[in-house]
Structure 1
Amino acid sequence: MPATSAAEPGALSSFLHTIGMDLLLLVKIAGVVAAAWLVERIMYLILRRGYARRKAKGRDEFTQYRFLRNAVRTVVVVAAFFAVVYTIPSLRSFAFTLFAGAGLLVAILGFAAQKAFSDIISGIFIVSFKPFRVGDVIQVGQQGLFGTVEDINLRHTTILTFENRRVVIPNSIIGEERIVNSSIREEATCQFVEIPVAVDADLKKARRIMEQESLAHPTQYDKRTPEEVQAGDPEVAVRVVDIKEGSVLLRAYVWAPDPVSARVMRYELNERILERFAQEGIPISVPIRHFVQKNPFAVSEPEYAGTRP
């Protein structure tokens, strides 16, 4: 037993000597890692305490808190990595040789990191100018990606869609896209409910049905100002917005407290209005198409010059 216990330190020392390290070096590396963890925890507590004091101000401070939290974590990890490399003599000499003598490699790495730096700068601009914040409901780009901003970090923005899928978009890309923000000032949304009816339909009756069904929906609420109420403006306006191809397009302007409720309300109102139209005999417009097709196998009658015998 004593011989075995005496042999263990020798084996550990041999292994450390083989990889160019000693026990003191291990202690230094452990100290660097512990110091990095401690700095990260202290910065986390400082940021969390500062956010707790300003939490009542809304989503702006929460967005800044999340961004700074991710930035501090990234900076501490990178700094700890370089500190460990500098602590190990073999890695330190290799790193100095690599970066001092390999100019082409440095140029390649700089070119490869160009996209990463672009994402970081775009992330700083997003947090500074606030086109959207964590918790905002936004629509991104021409494809119409619609969802809630879940997180913003140094490299990308995470959007949670209503299908419970997380879409990760680099900051440099989302910074160049058109953003429709439904929450930046207020979340109240005027939802368009559009129903096409036939040209010969009773428009007054159809408009009355759409107004009644919209007012009866529990999500709808009155967004009129006192002046508009005094002037007699309707709570839900229904107007004829287009006439084409044998149909009349009716649009109801219905207010909802937020964009998510507005979408659900539109789906439910579409069903309720169609059911009422069927009960009241309001014809729905159906597009009419005329197709003319020639028989490719038909033999055309030959033309004769002059008179036939």
Structure 2
Amino acid sequence: MKLLSFILLSTTVELPEWLDKTIAVLLPFKHYLIAVIIAIITFIAAQITRKAIKRQFEKSNHLGTKDPTNYIFLRNGISFVFSLIGIILIFYSIPALRSLGTTLFAGAGILAAIIGFASQAAFSNIIGGLFIVIFKPFRVGDILQVGTWEQGFVENITLRHTVIRSYKNERYIIPNSTINSEVLLNSSIEDEKTCVYLEMGISYDSDVDLAMKIMSEEAEKHPSILDNRTIEEKKNGNPVVRVRLINFGDSSVNLRAYLWAKDFVIGFVMKTDLHKSIKKRFDAEGIEIPFPYRTIVFKDEEKAKRFRSSDSKT
């Protein structure tokens, strides 16, 4: 063994001149080459892991009924972890950065305070994202309203934020810490069916009973209406759609129909359809949808005469 080692150590291998020059040029940059290699390996490892998780999710979700929230959060989390590992390895592979790190760690107390203050919001968002995944106040695909924000579909949940796509196809990027501190309106959790209010105003001279009958009939004819009556209500002959007189406005009697639909989106479309069909029936049956009237009283008779004469000329 000692003889073999001596032979190997004493043996010199002559490299081609071009290769020798290439090595001589690249040698001062070896640390940077190592950093590039680490970055490439980290990227490839992250992609392979993401694809493996995706295949596993698709395999277990062949029926399309599995909640994708955990998968999407895990996929985004893996990208973050691999990126963090890659940055740390690159940092320590370059001597200049390594010595900088040693200098920084010498003032660890001050550094910790600065980092803690700067990363407070970031960690708050990460903890918020974990709470969302664990307690599941909403899932990917749910119809959600955060506080006073516009309602929309949950499109993505990351470590930092949640993406909500509005009905206008706009994306709201909301930090997870903000979501956890707001009141959430989830139209999809537990039971997706929804009750839609359809309100119409009629004039005080119109037949209220006829208007309520028209609203009920038109709603019951719509293909998307959902019969949400209990067995007892069906036995008692209660209508599928209830219509109530809710209040008296300045120039209208306000009626409200209570419509049940399979989900929020179907309910919205049904409501817009019924606005059109009920308006046509009102026109055909002589039910007036009023506009505000203004009565002007002149205490001075001369001013009233001048106003009437000028109005007749126009």
Decide: shared fold, TM above 0.5: yes
Name the counterpart of 1:257.
262
1:212 to 199, 214, 217: 217
Name the counterpart of 1:269.
274
Instruction: State which drifts further: 219-228 or 46-55.
Output: 46-55
Q: Tell me how many residue pairs correspond in the alignment.
A: 284
Name the counterpart of 1:22.
30
| Structure 1 residues 198-227: Cα deviation after superposition (integer angstroms, max 9, x where no partner) | 223211100111011111222223222333
Aligned residues of 2:141 and 2:153 also touching (Cα < 8 A): yes
Q: CA 1:244/1:27 → structure 2, altered by over 3 Å: closer, same or farther?
A: closer
Aligned residues of 2:138 and 2:144 also touching (Cα < 8 A): yes
Query: How big is the shift at 1:118?
Result: 0.8
Name the counterpart of 1:109.
115
Name the counterpart of 2:24.
13
Aligned residues of 1:136 and 1:184 also touching (Cα < 8 A): yes
Instruction: State which drifts further: 31-40 or 185-194.
Output: 31-40
What is the letter of the counterpart of residue 163 of structure 1? K
User: What CA distance in whole angstroms lies between the structure 2 residues aligned with 1:292 and 1:116?
Assistant: 65
User: What CA distance in whole angstroms lies between the structure 1 residues aligned with 2:211 and 2:105?
Assistant: 76
Aligned residues of 2:203 and 2:290 also touching (Cα < 8 A): yes
| Structure 1 residues 127-175: Cα deviation after superposition (integer angstroms, max 9, x where no partner) | 11111110001122124x1110000010010011111121111111122
Q: CA 1:140/1:11 → structure 2, altered by over 3 Å: closer, same or farther?
A: same
Residue 154 (structure 1) aligned with residue 159 (structure 2): yes
- Counterpart of 1:22 in 2: which secondary structure? helix
**What's the Cα RMSD here?**
2.9
- Counterpart of 2:37 in 1: which secondary structure? helix
- Counterpart of 1:99 in 2: which secondary structure? helix
Query: How big is the shift at 1:69?
Result: 1.1
Aligned residues of 1:51 and 1:62 also touching (Cα < 8 A): no
Instruction: State which drifts further: 148-157 or 75-84.
Output: 75-84
Query: How big is the shift at 1:92?
Result: 1.4
- Counterpart of 2:44 in 1: which secondary structure? helix
Aligned residues of 2:42 and 2:82 also touching (Cα < 8 A): no
What is the letter of the counterpart of residue 125 of structure 2? D
Identity among equivalent positions (%) equals: 41
Aligned residues of 1:48 and 1:65 also touching (Cα < 8 A): no
2:180 to 151, 175, 182: 175
Name the counterpart of 1:232.
237
Aligned residues of 2:53 and 2:75 also touching (Cα < 8 A): no
Q: CA 1:284/1:32 → structure 2, altered by over 3 Å: closer, same or farther?
A: closer
Residue 80 (structure 1) aligned with residue 93 (structure 2): no
Q: CA 1:10/1:249 → structure 2, altered by over 3 Å: closer, same or farther?
A: same
Instruction: State which drifts further: 122-131 or 32-41.
Output: 32-41
What is the letter of the counterpart of residue 119 of structure 1? N
Residue 125 (structure 1) aligned with residue 131 (structure 2): yes
1:279 to 284, 287, 295: 284
Query: How big is the shift at 1:261?
Result: 1.4
Instruction: State which drifts further: 107-116 or 123-132.
Output: 107-116
Query: How big is the shift at 1:58?
Result: 4.1
Name the counterpart of 1:67.
73
Q: CA 1:250/1:28 → structure 2, altered by over 3 Å: closer, same or farther?
A: closer
| Structure 1 residues 172-200: Cα deviation after superposition (integer angstroms, max 9, x where no partner) | 11222221111111221111110011223
Residue 38 (structure 1) aligned with residue 45 (structure 2): yes
Name the counterpart of 1:53.
60
What is the letter of the counterpart of residue 210 of structure 2? K
Task: Give the alignment's TM-score, normalised by structure 2.
Answer: 0.80
User: What CA distance in whole angstroms lies between the structure 2 residues aligned with 1:259 and 1:201?
Assistant: 32
Residue 91 (structure 1) aligned with residue 102 (structure 2): no
What is the letter of the counterpart of residue 125 of structure 1? F
| Structure 1 residues 209-259: Cα deviation after superposition (integer angstroms, max 9, x where no partner) | 101111122222322233321121111111111123242211111122111
Q: CA 1:211/1:96 → structure 2, altered by over 3 Å: closer, same or farther?
A: same
Query: How big is the shift at 1:43?
Result: 5.9
Name the counterpart of 1:305.
none
